[in-house]
Amino acid sequence: MNEADLCGISTTGELEFSPHGVSLHITPTATDASLQETAACLWHRPVRADAKYSLTGEINLPPTREDPAQFMSGQMEFSSDNGRIEHANVLMKIFSILNVTEVFTGGKSDLTEKGYGYTKAYVKAEIGGGKLQFDEILLDGNSLKITGQGEIDLKDTTVDIILLTAPLKTVDRIVNKLPIISYIIGGSLITVPLRIEGKLSDVSVVHIPPSAVGQGLLGIMGRTLKAPFKLVESAADLGSEKSATEATPVAPTPKSP
């Protein structure tokens, strides 16, 4: 396949039919492609975004007559700089569970008015064992930083992704209203762990305890924030001296050389 296109993604490579089944090797790539157009085409769901992205990857399938999803392998990297997502269902659910419209500003949030602006978005994923495994998810915004790890089951299209969210304005507002909180958190930033779960077509976003967060994800957030942070089960916990005091402290993780 010298020229092929999937929703704005070039998918050149080789597709072979043999007595042993179908095999393929493709290299999906995109440069300065429209995030809105690709997302709407792939998922047939409303997405509004002013953002360009780049994608590199490789997907392999050995000859098989079985379900291809179980035997595919490969890797992909997605990156996007200085974009804005005006509407996406998953982000709206994250904002809702963080109670963004009240906690961030005490009124109507810019995130619901103008969308989520970010300086960098990055995803690194691998394909294997019938799953799309997300090794690193990063959305680096000025008011909300999100990191994540998890997977999508390619056979039953179920999602299980753990996120760490750092709503920076939440801390500013609560510290201003309750100065004792500044002493309790000791200058650390606050992160709230969440889980995305369910069918890909209609995922849920729920709170999870800090104990459910793995060391790998803690390291990603540490490198993103470049500052100590504490995990709390919800932003509302910051209103309780006991809950904030018992929050799990985490030191920043230095980048590997």
What's the confidence (pLDDT) of residue 184? Answer: 39
- DSSP state letter for 69: G
Query: Nearest to residue 74, comparing CAs of 108, 25, 116?
Result: 25
> Is 149 a member of any domain?
yes
C-alpha 152/C-alpha 41 separation (Å) is 19
Q: What is the DSSP letter of 236?
A: G
Closest C-alpha to 55, from 80, 37, 72 = 80
Which tokens is 31 given? 């440069």
Q: State the Cα torsion 233-235-238-242 to the nearest 10°.
A: -20
Helix (H) or strand (E) holding 128: strand 116-128
Q: The domain containing residue 160 runs over which residues?
A: 5-250
Domain membership of residue 177 (yes or no) is yes
- Tokens for 106? 């005490």
Amino acid present at 176: N
Q: Is residue 255 part of a domain?
A: no
* 55 in any annotated domain: yes
* Structural domain count, the chain: 1
Q: Is 58 part of any domain?
A: yes
Instruction: Return the bridge partners of 160, or none.
Output: 151, 197
Surface-to-core class of residue 34, CB atoms within 10 Å of its CB (0-12 exposed, 13-18 middle, 19+ buried): middle
Whole-number pLDDT of residue 69: 87
Is 236 a domain residue? yes
Q: Are 167 and 205 in contact (CB under 8 A)?
A: no
| Cα(81)–Cα(239) distance, integer angstroms | 35
- Give the pLDDT confidence of 100-157 residue by residue, as tens digits: 444 444 444 555 567 889 999 999 999 999 999 999 999 998 778 899 999 999 999 9
Residue 257 falls within a domain, yes or no? no
Q: What is the pTM of this model?
A: 0.81
Residues of the chain with pLDDT under 70: 99-113, 169-188, 234-257
Rounded to whole angstroms, the Cα distance separating 3 from 10 reads: 7
Q: What is the Rg, in whole angstroms, of the alpha carbon atoms belonging to the chain?
A: 20
Q: What is the DSSP letter of 88?
A: -
Within a domain: 256: no
What pLDDT is stored for residue 248 in this prediction? 55
